[in-house]
Amino acid sequence: MAQDLNVNVTGFNLPPIEVKGTFTIPSIRIDGQNGKSAYELWLEEGNTGTKDDFLNSLKGTNGSPGLPGKDATTDGAYEMLLGLNVYCENATPNEVLKGLIRGLSDVIKKPFKQLEFDRPVKGQTYINVYGTPHLKVALLGKGAAAGVSIGDDGQARMDLDNPFMAEDIQIEYFNMLGSIVGTYRVSGYVSEKTVIDDYEFQGNTDTQNFEFPEVTTVGKRAFWNHVQIIKLPKATRIHKDAFDMCFSLSELYLPSYVLTSDHQFSMISLPGLQKLILNDASDVNELASLPLLVTEIYNQDETKRFDKTTKTWVPVQ
């Protein structure tokens, strides 16, 4: 291809020479020598064989102490698993995958935490539980589908069908497949005794002190004669012969009981009674008429003592 060429020549202490004209520059081709193939290099390393021998040499070889290298096929994986004593029924992809999982189970299996819980207070409508994240909890019989997932922090709050009271509740613990891994019982609050029936403790000869915080009603001859201390802080309905024949009774606590002419009990058969606690709303005349064998009568919080002579409550010194 013809091109205009301007050339300035300097040097050798010559004056500048300017050459003008049109010149034809032939195309330039540079040819290099071809490099050696991988097969040729393999031969130069002292190996012998055909190209197929060379290609076969590139496949996996026996390892030590591992097993012979296998092609990345289900057949190869099947053979390797059998060689590792991992059972596979056949060489299908599903069976090989299950075999791999079985072989890895001891390595990746994570034990779940046993479920823990905070026992609800009376009347609470939920329960806090603690366990393995992403496992579920549900009330007995509801199933995993209705369960509550345990959060990443290992905690969950599960609502109850009814406020927590006397009845026990049972919680089922599910793994991530929805299978039950544990059942737990949360004991309810046993109903407090509120009534002592007629003669209820007549046959009890072992207990000397009785205290029932919630009892409000006491029946006839409810206690045996060997009892020494009885505390009934909420009792207000007491049979007149409730403590009949309690010869050994020394202390009787009835801080809610108001003694009146229509509301009283016999104390004739209490020869050993030394301390009696009654509500200070009691009739002072009824208090003054109590047998002289009762040495000390105090009000409900024991801040005052009843003086039979003056029929008044006086501060405890």
Predicted pLDDT of residue 27: 55
d(CA 76, CA 91): 9
Q: In CATH, which of 2.60.40, 1.10.10, 2.40.10, 3.40.50 is domain 116-186?
A: 2.60.40
- Alpha carbon 66 to its chain's center: 44
DSSP symbol at 146: G
HEC string for the chain: CEEEEEEEECCCCCCCEEEEEEEECCCCCCCCCCCCCHHHHHHHCCCCCCHHHHHHHCCCCCCCCCCCCCCCCHHHHHHHHHHCCCCCCCCCHHHHHHHHHHHHHHHHCCCCCCCEECCCCCCCCEEEEECCCCCEEEECCCCHHHCEECCCCCEEEEECCCCCCCCCEEEEEECCCCCEEEEEEECCCCCCCCEECCCCECCCCCCCEEECCCCCEECCCCECCCCCEEECCCCCEECCCCCCCCCCCCEEEECCCCCCCCCCCCCCCCCCCCEEEECCCCCHHHHHCCCCCCCEEECCCCCEEEECCCCEEEECC
> Where are the domains positioned within the chain?
38-108, 116-186, 192-317
Spell out the alpha helix ranges (H) of 61-120. Answer: 74-83, 93-108
Band of pLDDT at residue 64, cut at 50, 70 and 90: very low
Band of pLDDT at residue 171, cut at 50, 70 and 90: very high
DSSP symbol at 171: E
Least confident of 69-78, 232-241, 291-300: 69-78
pLDDT, tens digit (0-9, with 9 covering 90-100), for 251-271: 999 999 999 988 887 776 788
% of the chain exceeding 90 in pLDDT: 42
Predicted pLDDT of residue 9: 46
Predicted pLDDT of residue 123: 84
Joined together, the tokens standing for residue 17 give: 């020479």
Asked if residues 94 and 78 have their Cβ atoms less than 8 Å apart, the reply is no
User: Mean pLDDT, to the nearest integer, of 182-203?
Assistant: 87
**Which comes out higher in pLDDT, residue 78 or 130?**
130
Total residues belonging to the chain: 317
Q: For the full predicted model, state whether its pTM sits above 0.85.
A: no
Does the N-terminal peptide bond of residue 315 adopt cis geometry, omega within 30 degrees of 0? no
Band of pLDDT at residue 70, cut at 50, 70 and 90: low
Least confident of 175-184, 198-207, 215-224, 240-249: 198-207
- Phi, psi (degrees; rounded to nearest 5) at 191: -55, 130
Band of pLDDT at residue 87, cut at 50, 70 and 90: confident
Give the angle 183-188-189 at the CA atoms, nearest 5°.
160
Asked if residues 305 and 296 have their Cβ atoms less than 8 Å apart, the reply is yes
Q: In terms of Cα–Cα distance, which of 138, 194, 139, 137 is closest to 168?
A: 139
Band of pLDDT at residue 282, cut at 50, 70 and 90: very high
d(CA 261, CA 52): 121
User: Mean pLDDT, to the nearest integer, of 109-115?
Assistant: 84
Asked if residues 158 and 127 have their Cβ atoms less than 8 Å apart, the reply is yes
